[in-house]
Amino acid sequence: MSGHRLAGPTKRNTVRTTFAEALAAYSSYMEFPYAIRCRRADAPGEERVRLSEG
C-alpha cells in the first residue's frame, strides 16, 4: 500500500479544485495560438492589450 489515501471530503475537494484550475489554465494556453493568428493588423496596440488580458 502506498499510503496516499485521501483524508476525507475536504482533501477530495482540494484535489478536485486543483485539477479544475490546472485544466482551465491548460485550456487557455491551448487557445492562445489561435488568438495570435486571429489578431487584427490594423490595431496592433489594442491587440497587444487584448492578448495580454485574455
pLDDT band at 2 (very low <50, low <70, confident <90, very high): low
pLDDT in tens, 4-54: 665 678 888 999 999 999 999 998 888 777 777 788 888 888 888 887 876
**CB-based burial, 9-29: b 16+ in 10 Å, e otherwise:** eeeeeeeeeeeeeeeeeeeee
The pair phi, psi for residue 29, each rounded to 5°, is -65, -40
pTM of the model as a whole: 0.49
